[in-house]
Structure 1
Amino acid sequence: MTVLVIGAGPAGLMAAETIAAAGRAVVVADRMPSVARKFLMAGRGGLNLTHGMPMPGFLDAYGAARERMAPFIAAFSPADLIAWCEGLGQPVFTGSSGRVFPKAMKASPLLRAWLARLEGLGVRVLTRHEWQGFAADGAALFAGRDPIPAEAVVLALGGASWPRLGSDGAWQRHFSAEDIAPLVPSNCGFRVDWSPHFAGKFAGSPLKRIALTFGGRSIRGEAMITAEGIEGGAIYALSAAIRDAGGGVVSIDLRPDLPGLNLPADRRGQSLSTFLRKAAGLSPVAVGLVQEALRAGAPGDLLGLVKALPLRLGAPMPIARAISSGGGLRWGAVDDALMLRARPGVFVAGEMLDWEAPTGGFLLQGCLATGRAAGLGVLARG
């Protein structure tokens, strides 16, 4: 009999590779017409594979799931991921931020090489197979398809972000409610009550080289103004804390590169926009943020607004618009090899599990590491 992997994203494909490399027959089934759609979408702007941050700081990115993720990351580390990528003929480089990318800056060449390796290992891929649970005899059920019996199963069905790309969270109905932590948006944007003038003028404008602070934690990066709020890497890095707090006020340093910035007391007849552009070097959207804060009743301390502009964030954007999702199958539902305690022989990997991490390479590292762990769990069971 074969081993069945359900879900053809990074976690599922890594589980399939791990098992097939040991000489076992593997079938991968996915409900979409083609595999790894979210992986390909994530790679359009430059595929962030992992991060060069040393341990233990790297593990801190996994927050509350740090201790559960640690053994999987140790067994398939960032260095291992880099070696794996280069073994597929895809050299990498590390950017100034510590993020690691393939030199091709795309996911498609890596995926093609990966699928070729899987084909060489004898892995069969079945598309348009939507999982519907298990039959009484243990065979996997698929909508409009014949059941597939297997000696072991790896579930790698993702979370609930970007559902049009495959991960819609429908798998939850096949588990008891007490085994699932509710799926929530992660690496997400937040709603902001912009004035119509600001939203109309600056929606779609990037806010570059800023520093955001929330809950005592500061992140340098970039953000993007949208008609409904704000999103982008710096926001994503703090999104779990902001979400769990029910929103709140973030502080934005619009010129973190100028810690000793001073502004002249006399504007010499200049408009506020001209003054902030010349004296503080602010971009038009940054000037607009200062003006927006003043319209909302912020004190008129311009230097204070440039260095610590308060911005109240509301609800997170819907999970369908999030980069990833938090929540999922609780850790108590699986053993240390990621096998379901309630269903021996069935393993779980990737975003189905209850962990989250910021963008920057931590997400993909976690998916690949748990995929490999699930594959090793299958092999260890015999």
Structure 2
Amino acid sequence: MSSSVQHAAIIGAGPTGLMAAEVLAQGGASITVYDAMPSAGRKFLMAGRGGLNLTHSEPLPQFLARYREAMPHLKIAIEAFPPQALCDWSEALGQETFIGSSGRVFPKAFKASPLLRAWLRRLDSMGARLALRHRWTGWDEQGRLRFETPGGPLAVESCATVLALGGASWPRLGSDGTWTETLAAEGVKISPLRPANSGFTVAWSGIFRDRFEGQPLKGVALTFGAHTQRGEAIVTRTGIEGGAIYALSAELREAIMISGQATLHIALRPDLEQTELIARLSEPRGKQSLSNFLRKAVGLSPVAIGLLQEAAKASGASLASMSPADLAHLINAVPIELNGIAPIARAISTAGGIVFDELDADFMIRRLPGVFVAGEMLDWEAPTGGYLLQASFATGVAAGRGALTWLERKI
């Protein structure tokens, strides 16, 4: 079965694809947005469940540095659609934004659903067609896009195609990474997809795991090599995750991939100097239990004390036998051995993807003329804090503009 010719096809109805669709529709193109899921923006809605962090308010030079090695490749796209442009776009949809205490930018409604509903209404008014339950499977012998649909196989001709299929995290929401095989078969070079902003596995003792699963370590400082991150970590049944862990996940992941393990150090009271800690720990304990003493003298939570006990047992020592100086050192340098990376399906985002050398300046795949790509399909990663969505939106704009230019040349 073959449809009538489509001027442009966008594959993927997440924020990247929808933004490319908006740019193309504004430019007068006739478009259809295809998605394998029953509804649009499923991962976008998940990201906004605890508060939709659209972008960040820090100065653009610092903002761009968050993209690390990919910064030179993303710089032009983000400068062309910077954080302020994203805020203006959101407000034009009736969703005003505000800057939180951490500098992160949120819509005042805080959730993703009002923004997505307004966005889909605007796209519909612009003539954009949404084709759901359409799973893209590549191209046929005539170069047409192939889809599996509830009504059977479908072949679609398009003058331009924007691929916005995401990475491989949270596959149940639509991004399963199966596109890598399709594009690799076309000769496109792809860096292997890896978990980003992910948790890590730790061989906790049964007692610690059962008692402290789900408990947060608040106000800690995590150090790995030359990198230190303040924030919060959460003990999981199989290991550790949380914002501060995610910020170090790239370095931790690479170390584990090379050597099979990585030792993370946690400062439980990073604002207390060593001398102050020693002084507090040198006070008479009296009849207090050690746990109660540590809670009162140093302000440690039960999970923090449990973590100290885990570390002491691993070293063959006991907390009770430690001198105040040794205990003070341990409190602000608790070693945690990470022995694995949490599965990519549970990661917040994905590292790896189509290498930038495969693209031209308009985000078109050089070996596939008329095929553009954006978002997490590309080989970049960034920390949480608004950087993930900002780059997804900005590259969607860039790919949409590239596709529009391509269509204009074909007229």
TM-score by length of 2: 0.90
Provide the C-alpha distance between the structure 2 equivalents of 1:297 and 1:319, rounded to a whole number of angstroms. Answer: 31
Equivalent position to 1:341, from 348, 357, 366: 366
Aligned-residue offset at 1:270 = 2.2
Deviations 1:266-321 (A, max 9, x none): 32332221111101111111111111111111773221122221111121101111
Provide the C-alpha distance between the structure 2 equivalents of 1:363 and 1:267, rounded to a whole number of angstroms. Answer: 49
Q: 1:194–1:228: 8 Å Cα contact kept in structure 2?
A: yes
Provide the C-alpha distance between the structure 2 equivalents of 1:378 and 1:161, rounded to a whole number of angstroms. Answer: 27
RMSD: 1.4
Moved more, 156-165 or 288-297: 288-297
Q: 1:129–1:145: 8 Å Cα contact kept in structure 2?
A: no
State the partner residue of 1:305: 330
Deviations 1:201-239 (A, max 9, x none): 000111112111112111111111111000111100110
**Aligned with 1:245: secondary structure?**
helix
**Aligned with 1:371: secondary structure?**
helix
Q: 1:338–1:349: 8 Å Cα contact kept in structure 2?
A: yes
Closer/same/farther in 2, CA of residues 242 and 36 from structure 1, 3 Å limit: same
Equivalent position to 2:156, from 148, 154, 158: 148
Provide the C-alpha distance between the structure 1 equivalents of 2:70 and 2:45, rounded to a whole number of angstroms. Answer: 26
Moved more, 297-306 or 97-106: 297-306
Equivalent position to 2:310, from 277, 292, 296: 292
Equivalent position to 2:295, from 277, 293, 297: 277
Count of aligned pairs between the two proteins: 382
State the partner residue of 2:119: 114
Deviations 1:65-124 (A, max 9, x none): 111111111111111111111111111111111111111111101100111111111110
Question: Are 1:256 and 2:270 an aligned pair?
Answer: yes
Provide the C-alpha distance between the structure 2 equivalents of 1:257 and 1:128, rounded to a whole number of angstroms. Answer: 53
Deviations 1:153-202 (A, max 9, x none): 00001111000000111111112266010001111000011111100100
Provide the C-alpha distance between the structure 2 equivalents of 1:152 and 1:290, rounded to a whole number of angstroms. Answer: 58
Percent identical among aligned pairs is 56
Aligned-residue offset at 1:257 = 3.6
Q: 2:188–2:367: 8 Å Cα contact kept in structure 1?
A: no
Give the 4+ runs in structure 1 shifted more than 6 A. none
State the partner residue of 2:29: 24
Question: Are 1:191 and 2:201 an aligned pair?
Answer: yes
Equivalent position to 1:314, from 318, 339, 353: 339
Provide the C-alpha distance between the structure 1 equivalents of 2:83 and 2:334, rounded to a whole number of angstroms. Answer: 36
Equivalent position to 1:236, from 224, 243, 246: 246
Runs (5+) with no aligned partner, structure 1: none
Moved more, 178-187 or 125-134: 178-187
Aligned-residue offset at 1:368 = 0.5
Provide the C-alpha distance between the structure 2 equivalents of 1:88 and 1:207, rounded to a whole number of angstroms. Answer: 38
State the partner residue of 2:106: 101
**Aligned with 2:345: secondary structure?**
helix
